Amino acid sequence: EAGVTQFPSHSVIEKGQTVTLRCDPISGHDNLYWYRRVMGKEIKFLLHFVKESKQDESGMPNNRFLAERTGGTYSTLKVQPAELEDSGVYFCASSSRQGNGYTFGSGTRLTVV
């Protein structure tokens, strides 16, 4: 089966611009997660979708971040406007049910300059 796919793999944008990250989970996986790793720190949870519904968005840093999962398939994470501290690697993961080990994508490395 195809794994979790993330696009783009790298993005360099200027402070104040908008960036949209995309994640295609493994087909049939209802659970989709977004995580972020800022350099030198741990990978931190951002939010969790079950199908198209936001199950838990307690990790979203602020209202500059907007995640959607229309139709319960792929998900997008938009950062608007981007700030320098948003730089990091954004990972998406999916699982068939909670409690399983998740499958991660390769991540999107975001650099805000």
Partner 1 sequence: GQQLNQSPQSMFIQEGEDVSMNCTSSSIFNTWLWYKQDPGEGPVLLIALYKAGELTSNGRLTAQFGITRKDSFLNISASIPSDVGIYFCAGLNYGGSQGNLIFGKGTKLSVKP
Would you say 112 and 86 are in contact if contact means Cβ atoms under 8 Å apart? yes
Which residue from 28, 63, 84, 101 is in contact with partner 1, where contact means CB under 8 A? 101
Residue 84 has φ and ψ, to the nearest 5°, of -55, -40
The candidate with the shortest Cα–Cα distance to 88, out of 16, 5, 12, 7, is 12
Q: Which two tokens stand for residue 36?
A: 């972020």
- Which of 13, 43 has the CB closer to partner 1? 43
Site for partner 1 in 6-65 (CB under 8 A): 6, 31, 33, 35, 40-45, 48, 55-56, 59
- Which of 9, 80 has the CB closer to partner 1? 9
Q: Give the interface size with partner 1 as a residue count (CB under 8 A).
A: 27
- Which of 10, 15 has the CB closer to partner 1? 10
Would you say 32 and 48 are in contact if contact means Cβ atoms under 8 Å apart? yes
- Tell me how far, at minimum, the Cβ of 79 lies from partner 1, in Å: 19
Q: Which two tokens stand for residue 76?
A: 């997008």
